[in-house]
Structure 1
């Protein structure tokens, strides 16, 4: 049939409004039906994933119960009370068995999970790993230590969901490099933990596995994106966890849950076998790292990971073993410090934590020097936000196609998916009223071209050089500064992604940075919060005040920073802070 003949047939139809109406209604109905069918398929996939999780946890519970029945004399309370270093020593000398430790932690993890919903899978291969340990002649540095693993890190025989439906059903055939190295050192990965949808959020909620609560206060988030790790360790269900960090995702849950966490220099630990919704983004450096209850546990983990096995499995990792001499040094340090960054006014407890820690360090004989990080507004907007979303957030938006957006991410996500021209128009309109929000919207447009991306990478390098020059001029060893906290009320993290300025700076710079709890929120802090105005008086400042309200008694942390490849010095500084702040934490 010719095109002309086709139009002759169709032409009378277009003239009849009843036919047009029927076509329109039919098309609309078809779209609605397809959308409903799509949502039903999504719901089915999520229900299947939840059923698989429930079955895995039932299997875990049966195994823990069976061991308890067969070994009624196991000193579970004693095992759970030991630090990781103490436990490692007892396991190595044989006064405790790996079985008693693993099943004690399995039972405790189940208990914590029932309370706060932080575990999304039981790594059933842990029982096989237990049997392998009996046959090994050499006991690794982490012999018999149970380890929890963040959802998106591959474990053989399990999915890495990323909190997204698109990854469900993709069972991994191999362990990630970091899991292989942990096993080679005698560790026993035993559970996977919850994350926020897409992981570009520091809440901990997705529609597949639900919301994770803060074990210290259920009205608060555990933080994210390593929030399942934070909740499980803080609740006592794990000694050591592996998280990841591209804007503070190890450090923020550590801050919110009262833990120690380390973001190493990029590429010091292998990232092979880790999924991401923004694969290919290289403007801002993401990293895997450990989370634990104390600094010595982090150091032991880093010492175990930085071994020949990791360097063999991933030749792109620089073969730099852990420097024990630096970590155990007692030489006085030259410490730069700042109490605020000029982008987000710190909460009263954040600022007080730095002030108290600075005073303790000075009294202990360290040299304390004021330091002002250069051009923080420029760093946040042009280097971090425009860098991490250099594609205008296209990859992130694409990752949610065929999914339902979690309510905790919706505010953030709706902004990302606006067309670039709409973001630019809104930025122009908002600039006179809310300049910070306007700059953020402009940055979310991305870079626009390959040339601009190269220019953006060059700008990061220039900024890093300028920062290091200032550091060198003041002859600093390390820096002490705030970390966002205390723990947020539910629903606020997704509306305040830009509040990560205190942590995302060190992803842009690619410096190692760690978090140490030093105090708790006081009633005086809460009273002072009533007068919090922020730097801009915009909706973000108002939200931050609301986000941290009602936190009396919750942990407050500080951030410790060193130059690239100096994880050992960073940890040594963290250890000093931890030791000096113990008296404050006991008396708080």
Structure 2
């Protein structure tokens, strides 16, 4: 417009090329300067977050060492070896001091994070909370139990970044509802744990705090997105922790790290104050839940949380107290089972874990019935990916603007960023060759309209009813099935969307599901893995084979599932699996010791 006016006023005047060149060069320099300034600001934000963490962990280390020096008679290993139920009993009766337990776990958590990099923050308020608890006459069911919380649980005065620079510097104004309830019941949150960038990944790494490693094998990932929790608890640095799960983010780290964890029905525990990069997802159900060394710890925790205080703080949570009679029942169960979903074939040790657990359950008097999950290819594309990213992942991508991208997330984001037309073209041509990858590309094109979104929500509800109908037809109480595992090598999970189908299914259905470790990877499992081809023998199957290699000795778990709002039954089933597995282990180890 300005150029037109100039040409009208000075029709015979020519613009000096040197001026044009200067303008172009100046604009380019201005853009470069702006880019450099943004990168510098980002780097400063990341460095400041890291400095804060180092300062917090240094404070934690100082407190731990000071207590240890002043109390040399405290038996640290004896405290760390106690299961949660015994620890609670000793704390409540006074035979263990709250200080000895808190500072012991501080020290152990520091040891674990030195090895695997699982902590993001220390919560020094825990010291004042401990003193307040000691003054109270009534002692809650989790009295003075030190607990860890996933990084995105809001804790007043601390950051919930979700592994993204986008959220750095924004401090929580109050505790999340679950943290408030835990404190009311006597628990002491003392650390926050690491997550993958944005939490939409099964690994556990971000540009702020780096890569978390598996406590059993540092070449392996602890899983995600509750990977920091899995690594800390699996390494012995916490006795009870809290994660979240929208595709398996509690169950996968539990499987990889050899611990127990449960994803409840969405809404059984309050989600108020749980930060997320994306809100409003309806047909894939998020949930928060506990992670611990054994099933009794999970049950004790759920019982403590399902109380009037939570129902008051968040009236959207149905006021259903924990049903002890269900958890403690000894009635035989009708158990559906499957060792593959027909879409993803997990490594041989995972199938073995299900089959061995099935035999133990049958021997114990339970009835086992073959069960097949319905239409998994449809579930992954039409229900999960379209439900999670109905707009083609644009809402998630916004949170990465101006941020560094973690290497583990680059394979995913590169697919999300492809133009919609290109995704459709690639899906069309790849369909005959690699149908699973083509299905992912097509699903990631998004839904396109509000009308289509409603249709997608309706389709998810219809599928759920079909699944429940099949469940009822077989008169099942619970289902036994695999979970992703064993722990994968670092750098693979961002490329393996397919491997999450075993956990994703129960977020779509909104069924409670938990993981229990039952065995370990053997040399025979490793040998069978060398002949693994998967169901499709495609790129994803080849990656799974590489990702699972070198896993001898790693923990292997199974997944236990119940119908919605039946967390107590799910835990009861998990306890049965845990008990039978431990009895088998004792009966196997006993003769070996006698022979020696």
| TM-score in terms of structure 2 length | 0.96
Do residues 106 (structure 1) and 92 (structure 2) align? no
The Cα of 1:30 is off from its aligned counterpart by 3.0
Structure 1 pair 279–12 and aligned structure 2 pair: CA distance change class (3 A): farther
In the other structure, the counterpart of 1:224 is 224
Q: What CA distance in whole angstroms lies between the structure 2 residues aligned with 1:212 and 1:138?
A: 39
In the other structure, the counterpart of 1:209 is 209
In the other structure, the counterpart of 2:90 is 90
Matches within 5 A, 1:300-319: 300-319=300-319
Q: What CA distance in whole angstroms lies between the structure 1 residues aligned with 2:572 and 2:390?
A: 35
SS at match of 2:158: coil
In the other structure, the counterpart of 1:424 is 424
Q: What CA distance in whole angstroms lies between the structure 2 residues aligned with 1:417 and 1:151?
A: 27
Whether the 8 Å CA contact 1:13–1:19 is kept in 2: the answer is no
Whether the 8 Å CA contact 2:349–2:521 is kept in 1: the answer is yes
In the other structure, the counterpart of 2:47 is 47
Q: What CA distance in whole angstroms lies between the structure 1 residues aligned with 2:11 and 2:399?
A: 42
Measured against aligned partners, the alpha-carbon deviations of 1:525-575 in whole angstroms (never above 9, x if no partner) come to 110011111111221111111111000000010000000000000000000
In the other structure, the counterpart of 2:234 is 234
SS at match of 2:85: helix
Matches within 5 A, 1:247-326: 247-326=247-326
In the other structure, the counterpart of 2:592 is none
Matches within 5 A, 1:362-377: 362-377=362-377
In the other structure, the counterpart of 2:382 is 382
- Unaligned runs of 5+ residues in structure 2 are 590-596
Q: What CA distance in whole angstroms lies between the structure 1 residues aligned with 2:358 and 2:8?
A: 85
Whether the 8 Å CA contact 1:518–1:584 is kept in 2: the answer is no
Matches within 5 A, 1:175-574: 175-574=175-574
Q: What CA distance in whole angstroms lies between the structure 2 residues aligned with 1:11 and 1:257?
A: 76
Q: What CA distance in whole angstroms lies between the structure 2 residues aligned with 1:450 and 1:160?
A: 31
- Unaligned runs of 5+ residues in structure 1 are none
Tell me whether 21-30 or 487-496 shows the greater mean CA deviation: 21-30
Tell me whether 565-574 or 132-141 shows the greater mean CA deviation: 132-141
Q: What CA distance in whole angstroms lies between the structure 2 residues aligned with 1:256 and 1:13?
A: 74
The Cα of 1:32 is off from its aligned counterpart by 2.9
Q: How many residue pairs are counted as aligned between the two chains?
A: 588
In the other structure, the counterpart of 1:121 is 121
SS at match of 1:315: coil
SS at match of 1:402: coil
Q: What CA distance in whole angstroms lies between the structure 2 residues aligned with 1:520 and 1:284?
A: 31
Tell me whether 19-28 or 31-40 shows the greater mean CA deviation: 19-28
Structure 1 pair 557–13 and aligned structure 2 pair: CA distance change class (3 A): farther
Q: What CA distance in whole angstroms lies between the structure 1 residues aligned with 2:85 and 2:12?
A: 84
Tell me whether 8-17 or 475-484 shows the greater mean CA deviation: 8-17
The Cα of 1:21 is off from its aligned counterpart by 5.3
Q: Provide the aligned C-alpha RMSD in A.
A: 1.7
The Cα of 1:28 is off from its aligned counterpart by 3.5
The Cα of 1:329 is off from its aligned counterpart by 0.5
The Cα of 1:4 is off from its aligned counterpart by 3.5
Structure 1 pair 15–470 and aligned structure 2 pair: CA distance change class (3 A): farther
The Cα of 1:368 is off from its aligned counterpart by 0.3
Whether the 8 Å CA contact 2:346–2:499 is kept in 1: the answer is no
In the other structure, the counterpart of 2:594 is none
Whether the 8 Å CA contact 1:13–1:20 is kept in 2: the answer is no
Do residues 130 (structure 1) and 125 (structure 2) align? no
Q: What CA distance in whole angstroms lies between the structure 1 residues aligned with 2:202 and 2:103?
A: 31
Q: What CA distance in whole angstroms lies between the structure 2 residues aligned with 1:565 and 1:168?
A: 36
The Cα of 1:296 is off from its aligned counterpart by 0.3
Measured against aligned partners, the alpha-carbon deviations of 1:151-181 in whole angstroms (never above 9, x if no partner) come to 0000011100100011111111210000000
SS at match of 1:219: coil
Whether the 8 Å CA contact 1:195–1:204 is kept in 2: the answer is yes
SS at match of 1:218: coil
The Cα of 1:29 is off from its aligned counterpart by 3.5
In the other structure, the counterpart of 2:163 is 163
Measured against aligned partners, the alpha-carbon deviations of 1:42-89 in whole angstroms (never above 9, x if no partner) come to 111000000000000111111111211222211111100100111011
Q: What CA distance in whole angstroms lies between the structure 1 residues aligned with 2:207 and 2:504?
A: 26
Q: What CA distance in whole angstroms lies between the structure 1 residues aligned with 2:377 and 2:210?
A: 35
In the other structure, the counterpart of 2:141 is 141
The Cα of 1:279 is off from its aligned counterpart by 1.0
Structure 1 pair 517–585 and aligned structure 2 pair: CA distance change class (3 A): farther
The Cα of 1:134 is off from its aligned counterpart by 1.0
Q: What CA distance in whole angstroms lies between the structure 2 residues aligned with 1:29 and 1:312?
A: 58
Whether the 8 Å CA contact 1:389–1:446 is kept in 2: the answer is yes
Structure 1 pair 9–241 and aligned structure 2 pair: CA distance change class (3 A): farther
